Amino acid sequence: MKKKYCLGALLLLLATTAFSAEPFNYAELWRSWNPITREAYITGAVDGIAEAYFTTISAVAPDKITRDPLPPEVRKATDKLFVRYAREQIGSVMTDLYKDPANAFVSTLNMFFLARDKIEGKDIAKGLMEARKSALDTHRLNEKMRSR
């Protein structure tokens, strides 16, 4: 029953912000989720990425996925897509990143990958700037399309 209310509230939130003059505030959404919901989101992202990867590689290059060692282009794609950290760790870093008001409009999926990169010790400053710009560009494009 609780899940139905949470889903209903999420849909209402999304519908309300879809017609708003402000970009969607993903930080507010993230903060509104309890730890179980956050973990469920991260699990869904991980599962979705894996499913998309294996479906694509099986269709495009089925002979390459079974090679040992993996060909460099497959290894590069695998390293870029897959997350090898505990879901709680990713969630904790996402929570910290969303504390910065400048990151409020960065989508949860972009934040997911930025959190992974931060855990890996990469400098995410450029990625954050690009994600912020992308969020605003997407909002402007949506507003332009709505006004037609």
Strands (E), 22-128: none
Residue type, 14: L
Q: What is the pLDDT of residue 77?
A: 73
User: Quick check: is 7 in a domain?
Assistant: no
User: Quick check: is 61 in a domain?
Assistant: yes
User: Quick check: is 121 in a domain?
Assistant: yes
User: Quick check: is 36 in a domain?
Assistant: yes
User: Quick check: is 50 in a domain?
Assistant: yes
Q: How far is CA 70 from CA 66, 78, 138, in A?
A: 7, 10, 36
User: Could you tell me the residue range of the domain that residue 65 belongs to?
Assistant: 23-146
For residue 18, pLDDT beyond 80: no
The whole-model pTM stands at 0.73
Lowest mean pLDDT among 23-37, 48-62, 70-84: 70-84
User: Quick check: is 42 in a domain?
Assistant: yes
Lowest mean pLDDT among 3-12, 76-85, 105-114: 3-12
User: Quick check: is 63 in a domain?
Assistant: yes
Most confident range (mean pLDDT) of 5-9, 83-87, 103-107 is 103-107
User: Quick check: is 1 in a domain?
Assistant: no
For residue 16, pLDDT beyond 70: no
pLDDT digits (tens, 9 = 90+) for 130-139: 999 999 999 8
For the chain, the domain total comes to 1
